[in-house]
Chain A
Amino acid sequence: MKMLMIAASLAMALGASPTANAQDVKDPLAGDPNAIVEGASQFRTDCALCHGLRARGGSRGPDLTRGIWNHGGSDADLFHTITTGIPGTLMPANDLSDGETWEIIAYLRSLTPSTPQKVPGDPGAGEKLFRGDGNCWLCHMVNGKGGRVGPDLSRVGSRRSPEFLAQKLRDPNKNLAPTLMDPGKEWPYDSEAVTVITRDGKTIRGVLRNEDTFSIQLMDTQEDLHSFMKKDLRDVVHEGKSIMPPFGDVLDDRQLQDVVAYLDSLRGGTAEEKK
């Protein structure tokens, strides 16, 4: 960051065109068809693994096609986000030339609507369901309140598209474990339910927290951690599905929409960060 600033002021001092640090800088390649093609190609190699092939969001990065930018939506903001990353998130700094960065921004602009898409549904009603009849909070933490069996959803709105969230609510087993990471890095099992049967016939069901060649660790619905050596178990049953129940039958369409609207509003971070 500091280096970039020095480089920028140096470039200005030398009479070069100003780089992206000034807030009013616009993408010099905006709308350029060649830049959009180059940007698409750059995006595939540098960004798609997290943000998805068509920027619709992946297992690690948010959907970038909705015109909703959590860390500022001006050209200069996007340039800054891409080049320096977002501390405290999985978004890394990227070693790209200015031209490559502007190409990516030109590509992203070609995908996004001119006005941000509004998610239908009532987030307030959704939150009531989340904390009430839906019982979502028994397993999911939001801003420090809730359970520990499922993923923390405090910023799920910035990571997942409304379509993904709706699908996940209806059928949690679609896209189970669509992970792109090396095993052992992060959420390799995405809340897979596992039942172990001990040699004396005891059955323990929970969410997989680790499994390796010789041992297995899981958390039961009471949030207790269990660890077993596989040689001491009669059986390990991978249920091949999430421990989360499908909500398609529990909630009606309107209620689902409200919960999605609530989840979409969860963007974590501080007010300062959101500016």
Chain B
Amino acid sequence: MGPFGKTIIPLTMLKREKFIIILTALLALLPLSQSRFYIFLGTDILIMGLFAMSLNLLLGYTGLVSFGHAAYFGIGAYTCALLMKKAGIIFPLAFIGAMVAGVLGALIIGFFCVRLTKIYFAMLTLAFSQIVWAIVFKWNSLTGGDTGLIGIDFPAYLDSSVRFYYFTLVVVAVSLGLLQRIVNSPFGRILTTIRENPERTEFIGVNVKLYQLIAFMISGLFAAISGALFGIFNHSLFPDLLYWPQSAEVLIMSLLGGIYSFFGPLVGATIILYMRMLVTSYTQYWPFIMGTILAFLLFFFPGGIVGFLREKKVFKWLK
């Protein structure tokens, strides 16, 4: 086949799918280490990695800087936990409930946000996430407010950290597979044209705001999935996880890993969480160190770590 043969570009996508499978298989071996530390860290990284990748659908692919992504994470976490704890609903249904809540939350908030652009868009996402935070913080009878929601148990059949790790791994792998499909779909391509040039995209016949809103909802869905996992993983929830620093942290993870690469945010989440684990056992100045890393990064590796490695052609195939 010629240079435009049908087999050339789709291969990279198959590679990405293959990579997810290989990665999942490798990560499935982690519990063999029998290290509670690594199983804990692994679960944490998978959850936050999915959260960061859900954000990146907006950030890297659609060009929308959401500064309030903790809202959907928190909505997912609280919905799942409250449905289980207060309504006595079984875990699978509560989990689906969290997904629905994440999508609806993103639909309502996104409906207003996509009407604005740039810094105004970012500020509005922040404002809405603070509103969601305030509701959770003040609604004591439902959420426990500042004292948090404590005693969220593992569902009966996931009642060990190893089992929950495997459950998380499967959920995250499937989610990445779906996200990967979406960014390589016609819809995903139109999102990148919106990122590059919304005005022009309108005049190839695309209803830009509608597409942005749909991206928002998909992003909210995966953020809510990661949030639901997070609540069960921690057995407790506090309003903090909806507060703005949580939104900033996930933004930093994405930037660190690289927002223009599919796996970048996952890499960023891995590095941040691993380093935080290391650093906080020596010093309490983690924010100082993270700030330094971030400043260094923005100056020297504007494309993030994966962007930098790709530029150096370390793994050309890992888009």
A and B co-occur in one complex: no
